Amino acid sequence: MNFIRNILNSRSKGNGNFFLQLEKVIGFKINDKTLYVKAFTHRSMNLRDEKGNAINYERLEFVGDAMLGAVIASYLYGEAPQGDEGYLTKMRSKIVSREHLNELGKELNLINFVESKIPKSNFGNNIHGNLFESLVGAIFLDRGYQYCERFVYDKIINPHVDIETLEGRVISYKSLLIEWCQKEKKTFDYDVYEDTGNDNLKHFSVKLSINGKVVTKARATSKKKAEEKASKRAFFVFQNQMSRT
């Protein structure tokens, strides 16, 4: 317990007191401080408790993901009584998409709370959403479902969720394009290849062909991002045709 106590003491000093600042973000008092230490400890710290269990936010991410899904599902069930299972699933995915969670994490400046041996400038964009999920997990385990639900409503549902707006939001242009091609019996092909050039980071380029003709090209730091970017460009090329189907 001395090890955990030392961590808690270190977080209570400097930077305006970690726990007091975090309480301003979540809007209520913290009971179990150890949960929030874990919620903002990166695996690069390589910390373990007396039993050898890792101290980092990854397990809390898992809990937070489940709780976000539960709260959002309950909200949609009440707000969209005409929606079937497929509609509700799609709408929930839009609300808790990786992109949206990253935006929420940035909005709350959660990266300022994280302890890591990796410079914050070197983190990818997903760190923001990961921390948001881990915080939700910590809140649930610390204060229970009611407080977790309150936090999700305060930070996600009330300020950001509008059913009509969400219905028109595209989660994945690639999925949308593939679905359209299959429905219209069009062939499609993503020709992806490494295209690093003079960049320090590895890059990939993609040529998207429909019915054997290249319609768009794109380049990004991962195959998935390159394909999504090419699909988005193709969506705007075929938008009028897709809207009629």
CB 192 within 8 A of CB 223: yes
Query: Among 23, 32, 99, 133, which one carries the catalytic annotation?
Result: 133
User: For 120-177, where are the E strands, in sequence order?
Assistant: none
User: For 66-212, where are the E strands, in sequence order?
Assistant: 188-194, 204-210
Write the single-letter amino acid at 37.
V
Tokens of 18: 């970690």
Rounded CA gap, 127 and 61, in Å?
11
Number of C-beta neighbours around residue 101 at 10 A: 23
Query: Among 23, 49, 50, 65, which one carries the catalytic annotation?
Result: 65
Write the single-letter amino acid at 61.
E
Rounded CA gap, 4 and 177, in Å?
51
Tokens of 150: 């309150």
Q: Is 58 marked active-site? A: no
CB pairs under 8 A, 24+ apart, for 35-38? Answer: 35/60, 35/138, 35/141, 35/142, 36/135, 36/138, 36/142, 37/7, 37/8, 37/11, 38/134, 38/138
Q: Is 133 marked active-site? A: yes
Which residues are tagged catalytic?
65, 133
